Structure formats: C-alpha cells, structure tokens
Amino acid sequence: MKKAILLLTSVLSISFSFHAFAQWPGNFYGFILKDPSGNIVRPVNTEYKMMVVPDSSTDVVVGIKICKDDTVWRFYEGGNHYMGSTQKLKIVKDENGKNPENMIIEFPPSFSKGKDQYYRNLYAGELKFKKGTIVIKLPQTDAQWDHLKEIKLCEDGINFTSYFDVSNYQ
C-alpha cells in the first residue's frame, strides 16, 4: 500500500512539473496599413475604423488588433470549423463625417501547399489604403510555399510569433 501511494505521488508530481500548453486552432495574417500619403495607420488614427465582416454561415472567430510595436496589425482567424474560408476585414476612412471611403481586405485560407501543409501565420507586407477590395495573394506552387522566408513579428513580452512572408505576392 505504501509503495502504491509513493508511486501515485511520484507520477502526479512528475506530470505537474511539465508545462502543458493548449492551442486554439487558428492563424494570423500580419500586415502594415499605410494611408494614401504613405504614413502608417495606427490605433491613434481615429479616422480609420477596422471591423471584421461577419460571415453568418460560419463559426470562425475573427479579430483584428495591433501588435506591441504599434505598426503591424494582425488579423486572427480561428475556431474548430470553417477555417478554410475567406475572411474579410472592412476598413472605413471617415474624416469628419465627410465622404467615408471603404476598403475591404480579403484573406484567403492560409492552408499551405508544399512539403509542410498546415495553416500558417502569413505576413502580407505593407498595404496602402485605397477604395475597393484587396485580395491577399498567396504562392501558387509547392516550390514557392517551400521557399517562403520565415520572420518573427508581434512580440508579446515573452516571444515573437513566426510568420511566413508572402509580401512579394501582393
């Protein structure tokens, strides 16, 4: 009996000494938004409003927020269902209520081709605000996917997130 308790205590102690991490399935698109003059749009630019365009037919969690560096925006897509769909971000530029302009960014599914097939975090580079719709372009061939440069962005106080650079395709 004493050995069983000692064994059980040892097993529980060992199992609690390892850090366990759970990850919600999802991925990020990172980008820098610039106004028509070439200035970086940050949260303090109150004439720009960003909102996800909800797709009522899916259970995908989407959101937008600025990284700690205050230059890179990250658009999040996650959930257990429908991650293979295109997500949309609407940006409205409204200067004093006069002639608001709308821009939509369409983020296609980031499921990669090539030797590693999974949902990747992708960096789309610098996007300039313009009226209309921008569709983020992705590599077309397996070789292009396999040769994407990996970069670290969005430091969160502990580490950076790895993104694959697709900015040359925009």
Average pLDDT over residues 14-28: 53
With respect to residue 38, please indicate whether it lies within any of the assigned structural domains. yes
* pLDDT of the residue at 37: 96
Name the residue range of residue 140's domain. Answer: 22-169
What is the three-state SS of the chain?
CHHHHHHHHHHHHHHHHCCCCCCCCEEEEEEEEECCCCCECCCCCCCEEEEEECCCCCCCEEEEEECCCCCCEEEEEECCCCCCCCEEEEEEEEECCEEEEEEEEEECCCECCCCCCCECCEEEEEEECCCEEEECCCCCCHHHHHCCCEEEECCCCCCCEEEEECHHHC
* pLDDT of the residue at 9: 47
pLDDT band at 99 (very low <50, low <70, confident <90, very high): confident
pLDDT band at 20 (very low <50, low <70, confident <90, very high): very low
With respect to residue 2, please indicate whether it lies within any of the assigned structural domains. no
With respect to residue 94, please indicate whether it lies within any of the assigned structural domains. yes
Q: How many domains does the chain have?
A: 1
pLDDT band at 30 (very low <50, low <70, confident <90, very high): very high
With respect to residue 45, please indicate whether it lies within any of the assigned structural domains. yes
